[in-house]
Amino acid sequence: MKRKYPDEWLLIVDFELDNSGHIVAGVVRRHSREKDDVYRLPSLNKSTAFRYTGESTFAGLRSHVTSFDTQERRLFPKPKT
């Protein structure tokens, strides 16, 4: 993903996480150099992950995962497995 979409924000679906909760595979549904372009579009009504592929000066998270509860029709943080 980093090679195909350098320095971009990604919205990823059908993703896989490693034991540490890092995204290791998935399908990129949206990408942009502007974070707001990826975040502001309508929800896909399914579990999604967001990731920035560039270098960051921010010491915090560069990616996060949310799950979509189809019965309650809302997003919530995906628990670590």
Per-residue pLDDT tens digits for 17-75:
888 888 889 999 999 999 888 887 666 677 888 888 888 766 555 555 555 555 554 44
Q: List the chain domain ranges.
A: 9-77
pLDDT score for 8: 93
Sheet holding 9-17, edge to edge: 23-32, 9-17, 48-52, 63-69, 74-77
Q: pTM (2 decimals)?
A: 0.68
Sequence-ordered strand ranges (E) for the chain: 9-17, 23-32, 48-52, 63-69, 74-77
